[in-house]
Every structure is written in C-alpha cells, then in structure tokens.
C-alpha cells in the first residue's frame, strides 16, 4: 500500500453519496476488535515480512490504515479504560491502574449507546483485569456478556443498531516455547530490536509471538465473515486495534514506541471507501468520541479525546493539527514495595519522544529482589527474552547496557531523536544541543497535563494517589470474608488455540 508524504497528514477518503450507500441517516453498527499486547508494525500491511495477517491486511486496504495510533497507557486495564471513557487515564482515579476498578461516574461509550437504543454485547476480554465491587457497576464496562458474536447477531432485532466489543487474549503471554518455529516462522527472518540480545532463544520467542498474532488475525477473519453473512457489514463502523505493546522487555508497560504505538485500521463502507492511509497522530482516547459522533450521540464534555470522523469522510475537514500524542502510565503490576507505581508522562511527535519520569528513584520494571510471588522486575512478562536480558546484568559493558535499558533506573527526563535513533536507544535529554527542543516538548506536556486536570501537574509530580488505590491482582489484598468478582484473573494459555467467538468469558 502506497504511503502518503508526511506533509499530507490525512487522508484521501472518498465520501459515499446517499445513492451509493443507501440511507446515511441510518445509525451505524459499531464493532470494536481489540488484540491483547500487539505492537506496531507487526502486520503485513505495515511492511512486516514475517507477520502473517491476511485478514487485517485485506481489511486495512478496504478502509483506513493508521500509521500513528497510540494507546493512552501501555498496560491493559487503563488502556481499555481510556478507550471506553475517551478520557486521559490520570482523570480516572482508580481506573488509571492495572487490576483496579473503573468507577461508574466515568461514562463509557457502550452505556451511552445503549441509552440511545443500541443493543450492546461483549465477548472475550473487555475492560480489565479488575473488579466490579466498589465501582458502582453491575457488568463489565465494555458491555454485557454474549455467548458469541454469531449468537448475538442472530438474536439482534432487525431494526436495532448494535455495539459489540470483541476482546481477544492474543498475543498475550504465556506462549508454548517453540510453537512459532514449529508453525513455520523462520527465526532467521525476524527483526530483533537492538535492546535485546540476539540469541536463538530470543528469536524463537519472537516467532512464538508472531504465531499468536496470526491466531488473532484468524479471529478477525471469522468475525468479519460473520458480519458479512449477517448483511450488516456495509453500515458497520469496524475498528481493529491493540490495547498496548508486545509482552517483552522495554515494550509493554513502557512509554517507548514498542509499548504505546499500536496497529489500527478502520472501515465503514457506507461512509467512506479505501484504501486510505493516515500519518495523523490518533490517541485511543479519540475512539469513544469518534464512535459517539458516528452514532449521532452527544459527546460528553469531559472526554479529553476528540473525534477523527471528519478525517475519514470529509476532505475539506482534513487537517494537519494532529501532530502529537500524549501517553502515560501509573501502576502496572504490584511489583514494588508499598504498592508503588512508576509514574511517567510522555509526548510523541514525528521527530521526538520526550518522557518525564516522576519517581526516578524507583525501578521502572519493578524491584530487582524477589518481590512476593512475582519475581524480579515483575512489570516485564516472564519469558525467554526477559530471562536472556536478565542474564546480562553482570556481563561486559555492552551486554550490561542492554540489561540497563530494560531493567535499570532511568533519569527524570528522557529525550530521543527519532530520525537519528528510531529504536530509542540514546537519551539526549542532557545534551545542550537539544535544549530548545526539550524545552518546547516539556512545555507541551505541561500544558496537556494542566489542561486535562492531571493531579501531578504543577506539583512536581508529587501526587502519589495511585500508590494508595487497592490492587486486586495477585497477590491480591482482599478484605477477609469478601470475595471480589475479578475480571480476567489470568491470560488464556498461549498453548491452546481457542476461538473465543463462542466463549462468554474468553478464558479458554
């Protein structure tokens, strides 16, 4: 697919006339398909020569492919909260942490659509992991559980629009070692990021990840076929994304690109035709207002995201002001003494990534000692690549640097020149030559934090309320005699090929 010049940020969408597309006043159906831990650019349509993603690739060519789509936070629960609420995660209190709650006072787009007459459904991993108790909610914020997408469509009244969330558990760990190579992925062909040691075990681990990406793509194909067979595909807005980056060191739970930069494609045949490619920066908090605008439902004023619907369907409205995106994180896993988070905020532009770490005295990947049942550096998912990185802790300087990049402490400020350093290996924040650039990005980040009501704004980052919010994962701190409804307490085993399309809880 032909890439657009960066100057032509968006899009060559062709609006469909009423004669071509039928009654445009008819409200669209909404289908959101979410992968679990899938990083950009691991799809064939993005130029990845190893990925086997024929369904996603075909879908993207029929609609719009986004090159600069970013999660709100590189960790499951807050990422999904940002998608559902359209709000920056620092506004969501407990919703900003993994294994927390999402208070009912924060409106989610499925509830708003249901109030407007939509039929709502969910299969697989919706919002979570977290608990309902204490949130004021009686169901998953992504919607009520359905037996499967096929059953949902069969039961759907012909005169009612639907909003459906399909949450895969792929390519989340754990993986069965060697399955990727066994499925025909060539370990010699994979690209090993320079922050990991290039070993056979690491290459095989990457192949296992690619196999799980392929299995997610198969789920996409089945969902799209069910939609087409139902006769509702033309007027269905379909969005395919990932919640956060791949479960490897310096990826998931990090504000670097492999933690926050995600695949994204959108299709709505009744309103625009592809192929379209976009270099606009889209944050996943933009999804909820886009969906609501498409459905003709008023967008709540407290949503910090903004609709990108105009970019798809109206050439005259296409703008070049989507030139940056903001990402953040608070507590991922319970892997630091005192339940401490690793609070960070970042701004990403076409040329730079600027990161501010508010607690540089803490370990970004978790405490190094064996902390409770999680093990050292517990914010990194266990696997062969993590173990290969940890073995370098006492190695030669070049080897130890790889260990430090994933596990070592980080300074209060990081700045990466992405044209010279696309892998984000060399922090130039202390280089006087970048002083003006750093000041500008810092000012932009400060303004965003202030404008969106970030509790860490203007206080030197000193508001540590997220450390005090209860963590409901393992080891959970539950009150005696009380049992919480834990949503998605563990990932599906990577060794089992479960379609999820007919499973209500996605647990396999």
Helices 54-62, 200-229: crossing angle, 10 deg rounding: 50
Q: 357-371, pLDDT tens digit by residue?
A: 999 999 999 999 865
- 81-106 pLDDT, tens per residue? 999 999 999 999 999 999 999 999 99
Average predicted confidence (pLDDT) for the chain: 88
Bridge partners for 329 per DSSP: 344
Question: What is 284-340 written as a DSSP string?
Answer: GGGHHHHHHHHHT-PPPTT--S---HHHHH-GGG--S---EEEEEE---SS-SGGG-
Summarize the confidence of residues 173-201 as an average pLDDT. 98
pLDDT of residue 497: 27
**Contact at 8 Å (CB) between 169 and 125?**
yes
341 vs 268: CA distance, rounded Å: 40
Rounded (10°) angle between helices 287-295 and 76-85: 30
Do 313 and 300 touch, CB atoms closer than 8 A? Answer: no
Question: How many Å apart are CA 43 and CA 294, to the nearest integer?
Answer: 27
The predicted model gives 379-402 an average pLDDT of: 96
The predicted pLDDT at position 273 comes to 86
pTM, rounded to two decimals: 0.91
The first and second tokens of residue 41, run together, are: 């650019």
Mean pLDDT throughout 407-411?
98
Quote the pLDDT of residue 24: 41
Tell me: pLDDT of 7 over 90.
Answer: no
At 244 the pLDDT is 98
Confidence of residue 506 (pLDDT cuts 50, 70, 90): very low
């Amino acid at each position: 697919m032909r890439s657009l010049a960066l100057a032509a940020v968006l899009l060559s969408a062709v609006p469909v006339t009423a004669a071509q597309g039928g009654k445009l006043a008819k409200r669209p159906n909404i289908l959101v398909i979410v992968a679990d831990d899938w990083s950009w650019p691991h799809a064939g349509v993005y130029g990845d020569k190893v990925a086997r993603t024929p369904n996603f690739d075909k879908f993207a060519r029929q609609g719009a492919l986004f090159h600069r789509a970013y999660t709100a936070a590189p960790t499951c629960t807050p990422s999904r909260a940002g998608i559902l609420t359209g709000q920056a995660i620092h506004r969501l209190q407990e919703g900003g942490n993994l294994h927390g709650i999402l208070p009912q006072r924060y409106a989610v787009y499925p509830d708003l659509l249901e109030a407007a007459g939509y039929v709502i459904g969910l299969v697989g991993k919706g919002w979570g992991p977290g608990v309902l108790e204490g949130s004021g909610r009686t169901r998953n914020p992504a919607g009520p559980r359905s037996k499967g997408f096929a059953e949902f469509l069969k039961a759907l009244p012909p005169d009612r629009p639907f909003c459906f969330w399909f949450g895969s558990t792929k390519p989340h760990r754990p993986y069965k070692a060697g399955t990727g190579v066994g499925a025909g992925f060539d370990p010699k062909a994979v690209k090993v990021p320079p922050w990991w040691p290039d070993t056979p075990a690491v290459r095989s681990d990457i192949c296992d990840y690619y196999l799980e990406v392929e299995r997610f793509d198969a789920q996409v194909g089945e969902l799209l076929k069910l939609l087409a067979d139902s006769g509702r595909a033309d007027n269905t807005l379909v969005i395919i994304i990932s919640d956060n980056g791949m479960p490897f060191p310096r990826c998931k739970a990090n504000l670097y690109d492999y933690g926050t930069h995600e695949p994204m494609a959108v299709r709505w045949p009744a309103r625009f035709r592809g192929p379209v490619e976009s270099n606009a920066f889209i944050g996943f908090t933009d999804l909820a207002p886009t969906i609501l605008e498409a459905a003709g439902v008023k967008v709540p004023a407290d949503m910090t995201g903004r609709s990108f619907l105009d970019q798809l369907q109206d050439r005259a409205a296409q703008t070049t002001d989507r030139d940056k995106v903001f990402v953040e994180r608070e507590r991922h896993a319970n892997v630091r003494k005192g339940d401490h988070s690793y609070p960070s905020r970042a701004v990403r532009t076409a040329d730079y990534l600027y990161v501010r770490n508010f607690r540089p005295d803490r370990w970004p990947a978790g405490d190094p000692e064996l902390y409770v049942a999680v093990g050292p550096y517990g914010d990194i998912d266990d696997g062969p690549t993590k173990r290969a990185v940890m073995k370098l802790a006492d190695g030669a300087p070049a080897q130890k640097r790889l260990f430090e990049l994933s596990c070592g402490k980080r300074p209060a400020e990081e700045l990466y020149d992405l044209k010279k350093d696309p892998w984000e290996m060399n922090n130039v924040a202390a280089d006087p030559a970048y002083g003006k650039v750093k000041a500008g990005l810092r000012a932009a980040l400060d303004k965003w934090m202030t404008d969106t009501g970030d509790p860490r704004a203007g206080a030197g980052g000193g508001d540590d309320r997220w450390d005090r919010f209860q963590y409901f994962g393992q080891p959970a701190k539950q009150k005696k005699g009380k049992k919480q409804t834990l949503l998605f307490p563990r990932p599906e085993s990577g060794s089992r090929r479960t379609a999820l399309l007919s499973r209500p809880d996605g647990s396999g």
